[in-house]
């Protein structure tokens, strides 16, 4: 089965509230050196700069596809700083050995499905560690 981008094997969506203004969050998210720390095995190229609303990237490297961070300001229910909902999306497929842009052909074998599940889980857990670290950093600096 050839991989197409209408059916990405890694499809992650996450929402996290950070009690900090959007401007503080975009200052970190918008810095390309942050991307290299957060996703060292990926190369991201901006195809949609939404200003304070976030960024959209094409992704290559160990995965090929697209990613997005959308920032949504919201009123805080507690007294204190404004809050930002960080919406994260990753839609990608693993790349073929030796390529950073060609998706790997995947069968429906139990072994390969288990490998994809572990890869997806690894990316979810890495993102959660990343966003919670950002949350701790920004909320503790206020």
Identify whether 48 is part of a domain: yes
What mean pLDDT comes out for the span 2-29? 84
Residue 69 pLDDT exceeds 80 = yes
> Please, how many CA atoms are within 13 Å of residue 86, restricted to the half-sphere of its CB?
24
Identify whether 14 is part of a domain: yes
Residue 1 pLDDT exceeds 50 = no
Identify whether 79 is part of a domain: yes
Give the total number of structural domains in the chain. 1
Identify whether 53 is part of a domain: yes
Range list of H helices, the chain: 22-29, 32-38, 110-140
Confidence of residue 124 (pLDDT cuts 50, 70, 90): very high
Return the exposure string of 104-114: e unless at least 16 CB atoms fall within 10 Å of the residue's CB, then b. Answer: bebeeeeeeee
Here the CATH number for the domain that contains residue 19 is 3.30.530.20
Range of the domain at 24: 10-140
Residue 48 pLDDT exceeds 70 = yes
- Check residues 58 and 7 and name the one with the higher pLDDT: 58
Identify whether 1 is part of a domain: no
Identify whether 94 is part of a domain: yes
The per-residue pLDDT for 127 is 97
Is 51 in a helix, a strand, or coil?
Answer: helix
Specify the range with the lowest mean pLDDT, choosing from 15-19, 83-87, 109-113: 109-113
Identify whether 55 is part of a domain: yes
Identify whether 4 is part of a domain: no
Residue 52 DSSP one-character state: G
- Reported pTM: 0.88
Residue 85 DSSP one-character state: E
What distance in Å separates the CA atoms of residue 38 and residue 139, rounded to the nearest whole number?
19
Residue 76 pLDDT exceeds 90 = no
Taking 3-state DSSP, the helix, strand and coil percentages for the chain, each rounded to the nearest 5, stand at 35, 35, 30
What mean pLDDT comes out for the span 1-27? 81
């Amino acid at each position: 089965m050839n991989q197409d981008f209408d059916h990405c094997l890694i499809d992650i969506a996450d929402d996290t509230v950070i009690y900090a203004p959007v401007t503080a969050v975009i200052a970190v998210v918008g810095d390309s050196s942050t991307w290299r720390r957060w996703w060292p095995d990926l190369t991201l190229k901006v195809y949609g700069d939404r200003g304070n609303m976030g960024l959209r990237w094409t992704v290559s490297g160990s995965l090929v596809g697209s990613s997005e961070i959308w920032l949504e300001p919201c009123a805080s229910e507690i007294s204190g700083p404004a809050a930002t909902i960080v919406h994260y999306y990753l839609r990608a497929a693993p790349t073929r050995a030796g390529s950073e842009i060609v998706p790997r052909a995947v069968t429906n074998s139990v072994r390969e499905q288990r490998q994809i599940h572990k890869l997806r889980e690894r990316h979810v857990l890495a993102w959660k560690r990343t966003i919670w670290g950002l949350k701790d950093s920004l909320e503790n600096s206020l």
